[in-house]
Amino acid sequence: PEEVLEKRLLSRGATSGRTDDNIASIKKRFATFINSTIPVLEYYGGKGKVCKINADRAVEEVYADVKKAIESVTTTSHTSQVNTQPPSSSSSSTEQKRTDSPTTTTTT
């Protein structure tokens, strides 16, 4: 949700010294995301190639859902390695893109 994004980025800006983590820049970035990403998600969603995951939870919970989504599209004829370690808790979003299988996207 946009409110969570704003809160996280404003918090990051307070500790990182990034001048672009202000409310005006955050709103502009979110609008760009909506205008650029949502049409792509809708297109691939219509083809059954999108798995939406709520990223407004603990990192470990999000990671577990992402891992399940990736495993659900991995077949024995198409092997891939999946990192079994969850990402550091500083990660706030995960995105996995493949043209031959569903796209896993999380937003915060």
How does pLDDT run along the chain (108 residues), one tens digit per residue? 788 888 888 888 888 877 887 888 888 988 998 999 999 999 999 999 999 999 889 999 999 999 999 999 885 445 445 555 666 655 444 444 444 444 445 544
Token pair in block for residue 16: 């990182």
How crowded is residue 96: how many other Cβ atoms within 10 Å of its Cβ? 16
pLDDT at position 102 is 47
pLDDT at position 75 is 55
**Nearest by Cα to 4 from 81, 85, 92, 97:** 92
Question: In whole angstroms, what is the distance from residue 108 CA to residue 1 CA?
Answer: 6
Token pair in block for residue 52: 């939406």
Question: Which H or E run includes 105?
Answer: strand 103-107
Q: Model-level pTM greater than 0.75?
A: no
pLDDT at position 100 is 46
pLDDT at position 103 is 47
